Amino acid sequence: MRFLRLIFIVALAIILIAVALANRDIVTLSAFPANFGQYLGGRWSVDLPLFLVIFLAFALGMLAGLVWEWLRESHIRRELRAKAARAARLENEVGHLRERHASPKDEVLAILDRPKPAAAPATPVASAEPASGTTLPANR
């Protein structure tokens, strides 16, 4: 990727140098049309090489586009800030709820949450005698 970026920058530099060398003539850049500047006083024009006028126009266009997009997307940044603030507030609330409910204060919940002791084996032991408290008839 770096190699492709380097190739692009070198190609762009070659193109910009070629444009600059081909457009070295001096041109007059006026701020106002057809001698309108004489009514305002002073000289409202400047003599520059044509390539500099081209590059400045390109740079100012890029700057204007950057400012335009920054202003156009301001509502997106505002929504993002509002959602980030809401997410932070909710995370804070969840943290407080976890702290408050970390250990149950209700005795019934504490009993239910207590681990159960290990139970005796579930297989019944067979015996010849009936279990106490039963009403089975006696052996004959």
34 conformational bin, left if phi > 0, alpha if psi -120 to 50, beta if neither: left
Classify burial at 5, counting beta carbons within 10 Å of its beta carbon; exposed 0-12, middle 13-18, buried 19 or more.
Answer: exposed
Give yes or no: residues 65 and 77 share one domain.
no
Give yes or no: residues 60 and 77 share one domain.
no
Give yes or no: residues 57 and 78 share one domain.
no
Give yes or no: residues 60 and 78 share one domain.
no
Return the pLDDT at 137. 65
Q: What is the pTM of this model?
A: 0.54
Q: Which domain holds residue 93?
A: 73-113
- 129, part of any domain: no
Return the pLDDT at 69. 96
The DSSP line for 58-100 is HHHHHHHHHHHHHHHTHHHHHHHHHHHHHHHHHHHHHHHHHHH
Cα–Cα distance, 69 to 73 (Å, whole number): 6
Query: Residues 118-139: what's their mean pLDDT?
Result: 64
- 121, part of any domain: no
Cα–Cα distance, 64 to 54 (Å, whole number): 15
Cα–Cα distance, 113 to 130 (Å, whole number): 38
The most distant pair of C-alpha atoms in the chain lies apart, rounded to whole Å, by 139
Give yes or no: residues 99 and 56 share one domain.
no
Return the pLDDT at 90. 95
Query: What tens digit of pLDDT does each residue of 3-47 get?
Result: 999 999 999 999 999 999 999 999 998 887 777 767 777 778 889
- 1, part of any domain: no
How many domains does one find in the chain?
A: 2
Cα–Cα distance, 59 to 54 (Å, whole number): 9
Give yes or no: residues 24 and 48 share one domain.
yes
Return the pLDDT at 76. 96
